[in-house]
Amino acid sequence: MICVIDYGAGNLPSVVNALKTIGVEAVVSEDPRDVHRAGGVILPGVGAFGDGMRTLRELGMVDALRKRVVEEGVPYLGICLGLQFLGRRSSEYGDHEGLGWIEGDVVPIQPTDPSLRVPHMGWNEIRIEQDDPLLNGDSSPGVFYFVHSYHLSVDESDRQWVTATVEHGGALTAAVRKDNIFGVQFHPEKSQKAGLDLLRNFVELVGG
């Protein structure tokens, strides 16, 4: 069973519909008990980092995720904000603590080319940096849909976990993989075939 965490961040229907398209019925839940029962966890998200982390803590999801994902090794896929939560902290509207599973901070996008707009929005091609089972197949390399103004800047000590980057006035983290923990800055549920391929690969890792 795959649990899609509901913490009021929106865009859940599009993720659930994408999973249905590939034949997967996910459980959408704000109950940590469903995380403990899940064979895989998807944490999508749009909105502000601080609000999202605060809600996850209030729901008891942070402890549940640490137990199920970090300690027990269940596959995790963070989408957009769900990737950014993996870092230590974010400077979006203040200073907010993240999950701290990857050594890095969420900072504003600052393109070296002033003609490039922020947010980074629309289709862009990723560059594969490391092996990542989610990016195998037709989606490697691929063009995916992005919408974000902040990005996870990963410390040099943890750069081996960055599996893909995207160019937007400099290389930005597009995907990470640390053992059973996966994150993508783009939206696979909005990325047509390449995105469905990625979700299908995640489901295969879960054993579904």
What b/e readout covers 73-83, taking b as 16+ CB neighbours within 10 angstroms? ebbbbbbbbbb
Tokens of 46: 């749009």
Q: What is the architecture, at CATH level 2, of domain 2-206? A: 3-Layer(aba) Sandwich (3.40)
pLDDT score of 137 more than 60:
no
pLDDT of residue 114: 84
From the candidates 30, 148, 189, 204, give the one annotated as an active-site residue.
189
Q: Does 98 score more than 60 pLDDT?
A: yes
Q: Which of 78, 79, 82, 31 is nearest to 53 (CA)?
A: 82
Domain segments of the chain: what residues? 2-206
What one-letter code names the amino acid at 25?
A: E
For residue 189, indicate whether it is catalytic: yes
Residue 63 identity = D
pLDDT band at 9 (very low <50, low <70, confident <90, very high): confident
Q: Is 148 a catalytic residue?
A: no
The Cα–Cα gap between 119 and 142 comes to 20
Grade residue 139 by pLDDT with cuts at 50, 70 and 90: very low
How far apart are the C-alpha atoms of 34 and 28, rounded to whole Å? Answer: 9
- What digits encode the pLDDT tens for the residues 162-196? 999 999 999 999 999 999 999 999 999 999 999 99
